[in-house]
Amino acid sequence: MNSQASIGVIIPSSNRLTEPQFHTYAPPGVGVHVTRLRMTGKFHKPWDELKPQLAEAAAALSDVRPSIIVFHCTANSMENGLAHEAAIVETIQQASGCRTITTAEAIREAFTRCAIKKLVLISPYVQATNQHEVSYLSEAGFTVLHELGLALESQGYGNVTPQEWIRVVNENTRPDADGYFLSCTNTRMIEAIEELERRLGKPVVSSNQATLWACLKRLGIAHQDKRLGRLFSAVNELTSS
């Protein structure tokens, strides 16, 4: 393992859970460096206003020389489709000089890794946000069989316990689903993955789990952790892409 490997993360300013989770689940020797951007909730803004602020955040984050930068917000990276996601990546790469991915891209790759084509989407979001994600996933070639958002205020996302997420998913199962998608970076969903997979017998992908996995894959770091479910149960097919 490269002891200098590090992940740079751009997160919404209100996000309280990505940092502790990445530090908890990342393998030893992998640094995690975070910067914040006001881009969700009352700070949500159109792309022409967000773009210069995103470029400035990416440039600042590049000062720590991360091995990769991730635009880490599920809803924002999915809300306007694949072309908009590509524009986000291009903006960050040009400003930072670092290879870049988004949460959405990581999730797509995790679905492919786990052979998920048909899925159930569970989130803390309002209905409109869920529909943006359904549209994005449809454009990317996936089928959302069923979706549920809890319609919470953003500051309440982290108050939902892993046990409650387990209950919600169990109440929204679909026998023809290949797997389950727990969407949002600012939740404790990652703590529910192991138990959900045991109960459901199907893969479960969450935003933080998938993003950590995709970053490690690009850094050429194989990592196994049973707490992170099937996605981490076998050695990654490493790639430098």
Question: Model confidence over 127-180: pLDDT tens digits?
Answer: 999 999 999 999 999 999 999 999 999 889 999 999 999 999 999 999 999 999
Please choose, from the candidates 178, 182, 234, 226, the residue with its C-alpha nearest in 3D space to the C-alpha of residue 205: 182
Q: Which fold has domain 106-208?
A: Rossmann fold (3.40.50)
Contact, 52 vs 79, CB < 8 A?
A: no
pLDDT score of 234:
60
197-216 per-position pLDDT tens digit: 999 999 999 999 999 999 99
Tell me: the pLDDT tens digits for 87-115?
A: 999 999 999 999 999 999 999 999 999 99
Residue 7 has pLDDT above 50, yes or no: yes
CB of 135 closer than 8 Å to CB of 195: no
Element (H, E) at 35: strand 31-37
CATH of domain 6-102: 3.40.50.12500
Side chain identity, residue 225: D
Contact present, 190 and 212 (Cβ < 8 Å) = no
- Domain residue limits, the chain: 6-102, 106-208
Q: What is the mean pLDDT of the chain?
A: 93
CA end-to-end distance (rounded Å), the chain: 17
| Lowest model confidence (mean pLDDT) among 35-49, 58-72, 134-148, 226-240 | 226-240
Residue 50 has pLDDT above 90, yes or no: no
